[in-house]
Chains A and B, each alone.
Chain A
Amino acid sequence: MTALGKLIRTTAFKLSFAYLVVFALFAFAALGYVAWNAQRLLTDQFNATIEAEIGGLAEQYRLGGLRRLVNIVERRSRAPGALLYLVTTPLGERVAGNVGALPPGAADHPGQFETAYTRTDEADAPPSHALVRVYRLPSGFHLLVGRDMEESARLRDVIRRAFGYSLLFIGVLGCAGGWFITRRVLKRIDDMTETTRTIMAGDLNGRLKVAGTGDELDRLAQNLNQMLDRIGELMHGMREVSDNIAHDLKTPLTRLRNKADEALRLARTPEELKAALEANIEESDNLIRIFNALLMIARLEAGNAREGLSDFDASEAVRDVAELYEALAEEAGVPLKVQVDDDLPVHGSRELLGQAVANLLDNALKYGASGEPEAAARPVSVTAKRAEGEVRIEVSDRGPGIPEAERGHVLERFVRLESARSRPGFGLGLSLAAAVARVHGGTLRLEDNAPGLRAVLALPLAPAIGEA
């Protein structure tokens, strides 16, 4: 019962039922029209035949009088498959013809009508129907000519049977077809429901079956599958981020905890405690910094930093940041060469670009040169120029560089090369710069500066400011 109920409630069933009714109505209308026309055609033909016969007989009467008419009627009445003939006196007494019994008084009045009759040669047979026409001869005699309507009745029978069969046919076929289609659709939808249920239960790898017919259910299944793919990607990204965050925050958190613990156990004077607390605060600040950088990368990668972008001159941004780091470079004894061309319009965020360049410079100063005895011989350079329709911002150093195999790798979050482990930093600078490049529709490439590293921030050139 529930299965039947479910079947009845489906859209497919309702649709099939509606179509069935509509088709049945159409079939009946068409059949009815045909039947009506056939009947009318037949009747017209009968009329014409009767008319012609009466015309002919009337002519014979005019030529040869009643005698001749009666002779002809007698002769024609005997011919096989003949029309119906009857000649009566003005009082209705039969004179000649092949019509036996007629309803009383039927032949007394001129005109055309249908009537029951029996033939003289088969008086025992049940009366049958005929279309007759009564003509009043000038002498007062009546001439009746008619045609048996048996054919017409047979036609009616045929049509009636056709109606019946077609009704049966449409009904059976419609029900079967509807049931078949409904079952098919229902099964596919049930399958989809089943699959989605297992997916909802946690198996995100499940996918809906695509039948390959390209119909709407297939398209729906394809869309749902694409949606699932996208969700899967996002989930994967989220998991990766949270794994990385967990991993990289755990280390400083543990260090923080251990330091506090150590201070509690070992510190004897208030000064020692104070120093330990200050170290703790510093460590916490580092954590906050890591967290901010992570959130920023996540936001940039999620793509919702696009609002608030505008056209600005990258040359100013690069110069500002270079100026910001000049003092630091000087302190470290590293020559910082800055060569920035004018008028480098970029669509994006001056703030983000500034941060990306700052990160690159920070890296260059940290890994490229500083602290080495021959630092002065290892200049860091910043250039910004137009090239091939892009704005190219390059930060190059003469440090150890990054082996080619590692270059793609270091753009990932938290990756720090083995050789850099001993220096401060969180391994987020390059990935942040790469994320900033992506937001601007550009790329961050790491190239060999032979020796050293050249980081190239390539951003699409915006229409010149003020021109647009």
Chain B
Amino acid sequence: MRILIIEDDKEAAAYLVKAFREAGHMADHAADGLDGYAMAEGGDYDVLVVDRMLPKLDGLSLIRSLREQKIESPVLILSALGQVDDRVKGLRAGGDDYLPKPYAFSELLARVEVLARRRASVSHAEPTTYRVGDLELDRLSHRVTRSDHEIILQPREFRLLEYLMKNANQVVTRTMLLEHVWDYHFDPQTNVIDVHVSRLRAKIDKGFDKPLIHTIRGAGYMVRVGGETDA
């Protein structure tokens, strides 16, 4: 996918460009708000990674201007300001996700990939059924089956699995899970999320040869068929 990084810190930008390319994406870089705006307007990017504080045109104004021009590329805002109200301001300006600095690249990558995929699927309506291998989740009847055996989940476990399956074959980080399943944006201090995932895993994968919920070391979790798992 094509990613535009609008970031004035040269070193940070170079690192991001390199890291995204290593992850198999195309990444361009703009060093200030005006350049960034011009490039975002001209190029068809899948995701924009925008620093909040930029020379010439600040990040939020840039996003507002793009949305005004009906350029709907998903935007992830990077900011040294990590507070709740800053996040709200960022999302209100038209951003799609918000990541406070400092961040782990794995977190950024996971979020960017989720945003890009959401863009790709925005034309079709969300499917009512998610399917990964022999695992099936019906969003309407709230039924989960694996190899036609029904699995009983608690409401929260259902939402957890729903989010993981919605982003199947993509890394989902612990903070992303806390955000989307529990609607909290803080950093859980201990392995609270891990415990929930391992409970879910016990219900989903127990008794089956091939696990579907994989732990991606240093990043988070992924639902997929086959492949290695670090767990």
Contact = CB atoms under 8 A, between A and B. Distances in A.
Interface of A: 278, 281-282, 285, 288-289, 291-293, 295-296, 299, 305, 307-308, 320-321, 323-325, 327-328, 330-331, 349, 351-352, 354-355, 358-359, 362, 365-366, 424-425, 429
B190 interface: yes
Contact of B199 (A281, A327, A349, A362): A327
B187 A292 contact: yes
A17 B183 CA distance: 72
B184 A305 contact: no
B84 interface: yes
Interface string B48-87: 0000000000000000000000000000000000111100
A305 B83 CA distance: 8
B121 interface: no
Contact of B85 (A288, A305, A320, A366): A305
B192 interface: yes
Contacts of B217: 278
A354 B186 contact: yes
A351 B82 contact: no
B104 A285 contact: yes
Given A278-B217, A289-B187, A296 B83 contact: yes
A429 B189 contact: yes
A327 B184 contact: no
Given A292-B82, A308-B88, A281 B218 contact: yes
A193 B3 CA distance: 58
| Candidate in A321, A324, A327, A330 with the most chain B CB atoms within 10 angstroms | A327
Given A295-B82, A358-B188, 15 more contacts: A278-B217, A282-B218, A288-B103, A296-B82, A296-B83, A320-B183, A324-B184, A324-B192, A328-B195, A351-B184, A351-B186, A354-B184, A362-B189, A424-B190, A425-B189
Interface string B174-213: 0000000011111111111001100100000000000000
B189 A289 contact: yes
5 contacts: A289-B187, A289-B189, A299-B83, A351-B184, A425-B189
Contacts of B196: 324, 327
A299 B217 CA distance: 32
Q: Could you tell me the dominant secondary structure of chain B's interface residues?
A: loop
B102 interface: yes
Nearest to A355: B186
B186 A362 contact: no
Contact of B84 (A285, A351, A425): A351
B143 interface: no
Contacts of B199: 327
A366 B190 contact: yes
A359 B184 CA distance: 13
B84 A324 contact: no
A359 to B, nearest CB: 7
Interface string B84-107: 110010000000000010111000
B10 interface: no
A420 to B, nearest CB: 14
B156 interface: yes
Given A292-B82, A305-B85, A354-B184, A323 B156 contact: yes
Contacts of A281: 104, 218
B187 A291 contact: no
Nearest to B184: A354
Nearest to A425: B189
A278 B217 CA distance: 9
Contacts of B102: 288, 291
Given A296-B83, A305-B85, A362 B190 contact: yes
A358 B184 CA distance: 11
Contacts of A327: 192, 195-196, 199
Given A281-B218, A299-B83, A308-B84, A328 B186 contact: no
A410 B11 CA distance: 40
A107 to B, nearest CB: 104
B230 to A, nearest CB: 11
B185 A351 contact: yes
Nearest to B80: A295
B85 A328 contact: no
A352 B84 contact: yes
B182 A324 contact: yes
A365 B187 CA distance: 17
A281 B83 CA distance: 24
Contacts of B156: 323
Contacts of A288: 102-104
B83 to A, nearest CB: 6
A366 B189 CA distance: 11
| Candidate in A278, A299, A321, A330 with the most chain B CB atoms within 10 angstroms | A299
Contacts of A330: 195
Contacts of B187: 289, 292-293
A327 B196 CA distance: 6
Contacts of A323: 156
A311 B187 CA distance: 23
Given A296-B82, A308-B85, A351-B84, A320 B182 contact: yes
Contacts of A295: 82
Contacts of B83: 296, 299, 305
Nearest to B189: A362
Given A288-B102, A320-B182, A323-B156, A278 B218 contact: yes
Nearest to A354: B184
Contacts of A293: 187
A291 B82 CA distance: 11
